[in-house]
Chain A
Amino acid sequence: MTTDGAPLRVDSLRMEFGGITAVDGTSFVVEDGTLTGLIGPNGAGKSTTFNCITGVYTPTAGHVYFQGEEITGLAPHQIARRGLVRTFQIARELEEMTVFENMMLAPQHQRGESLIASVVPGLRAAVVTEERGLRAEVWETLEFFEIDHLAHEYAGNLSGGQRKLLELARALMTDPEMLLLDEPLAGVNPTLEKKLLERIHALRAEGYTFLLVEHDMEVIMENCARVIVMHQGQVLAEGAPAEIKEDEAVIDAYLGEPI
């Protein structure tokens, strides 16, 4: 398995919960600068794989490499700091914070995240300066996602689709290398879905790498260059959408549904 140009490599990943094996020896790579889709029927182990990659679960066995370095078993914040940032299936906004505060939270290594720098008057000036810089950056990102009109709204008041946009925008504020999106289009109306996909494509063109877990087969087939199909905790097929559509095993796994 080549790792050249592959920021993310999952190798024989295994995750057991008690007697149940949710992920059973999954291996795949995500190539640099691609929009890769991860699909599979319910219970295929997509979300568990996701949680193993991002450090929410520590896998029972197997390895995860990001940019050539092993990240297996690291804490979620350590993985995020390396530039591998995720979003959540059910958008997890910080509801009692405004959209703007949500965005300001994300940037890494903020000077003011030190308690001392926040309270000592002499050091606080630098924090204020940094905050002003971030504010400008946040406005830019909010405008890119066309949610700048919601800047001062509490995140709890946003619609499902707006939350998904905010979540992606917020993840982007961490200055990631690669984004893992867990069902970014679930519960999003068609207009916003189009907007969201446009943004994802634009960002991919800028060089970001995406791994997309999605339920909606059509979306994956239309938008992803490469598709990984999981079934019963294992990778069933891997390839371009056209190949996947013809794959007998995949068709069987989906009980003959046309893909």
Chain B
Amino acid sequence: MTQTVTGAVTETMRRLVGDSDLRMIGVTIGGVYLIATLLAIAAGYDVGGIVNTLRAITVFAAGYGMLVLALNLHWGYTGLFNIGVAGFMAIGTYVTAILSAPPELSPGAGLGLPIPIAVLGGMLAAAIAGVLTALPALKMRADYLAIVTVALSEIIRLSIKSQTLAEVSVAGVTVGTGGGRGISYPAPSDAASWLIELVPGGTVLYPAGAAVGIARPVVTGLVYMLILVAFTAAFYWLLVQIGQSPFGRVLKAIREDELVASALGKDTRIFKLKVFAVGCALMGLGGYLWLGRSGFVNDLSFRPDITFFVFVALIIGGAGSNTGSVLGGIIFSGVLFYLPQFISQNFVRAARAPDTFVEALSGDLAGYLVANISALRFVAIGVLLVWLMQRRPEGILGHRMEAAAAIDLRGGRAGGSDDD
């Protein structure tokens, strides 16, 4: 019965939205925008406020999108159970921060290298950390990789926090993580105003924004949001290229049955190491661009819960599917994370809510739910996960079985459509 209901819902969705991936993503984000706009209007926001709310949601969704895609490469494509996402994000962010921070900037201490070089350095560091983690664990069963990665991510976080590494002098150069005080560095989000100045006529955006009530910082924020979206699109493109290639075919085979892949002459360890390095580099970059966007981070950004949030988003969207990863990122960050927070920030003061659930049952249940929504959303995420595991363990778009070849294999002997 429920099976047919779920089937019918999926079918209706398909009829409404179609099979086009871009349309699916568009409709989903559109739906989230619509709810957010209505809520913002209800909260009495003006145009600038509404736009800023939508911007914040998009930044959230793009940030999750990047990380979920990176994790999809590990878990969805190759079946590598990496639960140290936060650790690799931290390495990417901190190494980029240390490389790019001017030496005089405090707390923390850096080398003052150009930002593009610093970003590459951060990605490389995350990739190397990934390889070093994976080397001993990849020989063993999948669960060992999980144990090693989750432990490593905590070791990294605690090392960042430790006073010992706050400032280290190596050969007369002082570098460091800033310890518990965090680290300051040139903000990635400054790229937005730089870009506006660089593009001829770009500065027109400021008066244009002001005319419709969008303040200058929101304009630069919107441009940075677009940069994040562009990076998410680039991640997506990269993953499609990897997936739809003989390389991706071997990854899929490793996920299905590693012994078969090796019996067919594939050196599965090399494939796993490569894919682990790439995914970790992407996590590092995603962490820097998203959590590190303001030019300041500390250890609190890289607690293990972010790893689990990224996993939840991937499970909702469907492991193995790139479009599903993006959808999962949007739904998780928008519907489950941002909107409840928005509600609690804007609607709580409206009424005095009951203090306990029992009290609420006999009185103002809605008021109670709104007042406690930021805590209750975790209950909701839990319920959703349980429901998904029972009804649709493959997520929204999992098991859609993405192609694993550089050409279209469908069609008959004559060759089918020959597009790449």
Q: How far is the CA of A226 from the CA of B248 in the complex (A)?
A: 41
In contact, B247 and A105 (Cβ under 8 angstroms): no
- B256 contacts A139, CB within 8 Å? no
Q: Which residues of B contact A245 (CB under 8 A)?
A: none
Q: Is there a chain B Cβ closer than 8 Å to A154's Cβ?
A: yes
Chain B nearest CB: distance from A176 CB in Å?
9
Chain A: CB-nearest residue to B399:
A96
Residues of chain A with a CB closer than 8 A to B260's CB: 88, 92-94
CA A171 – CA B263 in complex, angstroms?
9
How many residues from A make CB contacts under 8 Å with B?
47
Q: Is the CB of A94 within 8 A of B268?
A: no
User: B377-411 toward A: CB 8 Å interface, digit per residue (1/0)?
Assistant: 00000000000000000000001010011110110
0/1 interface trace, chain B 272-314, chain A, CB 8 Å (1 if under): 0011001000000000000000000000000000000000000
A101 pairs with B265, CB closer than 8 A: no
- Other-chain contact of A81, B245, B265, B278 (Cβ < 8 Å): B265
Most chain B CB atoms below 10 A, which of A77, A88, A95, A104 = A77
Q: How far is the CA of A132 from the CA of B410 in the complex (A)?
A: 12
Q: Tell me, yes or no, whether A75 is within 8 Å of chain B by CB.
A: yes
In the complex, whether B355 has a CB less than 8 A from a CB of chain A is no
| A180 closest partner in B (C-beta) | B263
Give residues 44-94 of A contacting B (CB, 8 Å).
Answer: 54, 56, 75-78, 80-81, 85-86, 88, 92-94
Q: Which of B247, B257, B404, B405 contacts A114 (CB 8 A)?
A: B247
User: In the bound complex, what is the Cα–Cα distance between A140 and B274 (angstroms)?
Assistant: 33
Q: In the assembled complex, how far is the CB of residue B12 from the closest CB belonging to chain A, in whole angstroms?
A: 25
A118 with B241, Cβ < 8 A, contacts A76-B262, A85-B264, A113-B247 known = yes
Chain B interface residue count, CB cutoff 8 Å, equals 39
**Which B residues, 29 to 45, have Cβ-Cβ distances below 8 Å to chain A?**
none
Question: Quick one: closest B residue to A170, CB to CB?
Answer: B264
Most buried by A among B257, B260, B261, B268: B260
A95 & B256 in contact (Cβ 8 Å cutoff)? yes
Q: Mark B140-181, 1 if CB is under 8 A from A, else 0.
A: 000000000000000000000000000000000000000000
Most buried by B among A54, A95, A119: A119
Contact with B along A155-171 (1 / 0, CB 8 A): 00000000000000011
Fill in one digit per residue for B225-264: 1 if any A CB lies within 8 Å of its CB, else 0: 0000000000000100110011111101101110111111
Q: Are A77 and B404 in contact (CB under 8 A)?
A: no
A135 within 8 A of B: yes
Given contacts A75-B267, A98-B409, 11 further A-B contacts (CB under 8 A): A77-B266, A88-B263, A96-B252, A97-B404, A101-B405, A101-B409, A112-B246, A117-B247, A118-B246, A119-B238, A119-B241
| 6 contacts across the A-B interface (CB closer than 8 A) | A77-B265, A80-B263, A92-B260, A97-B249, A118-B406, A119-B242
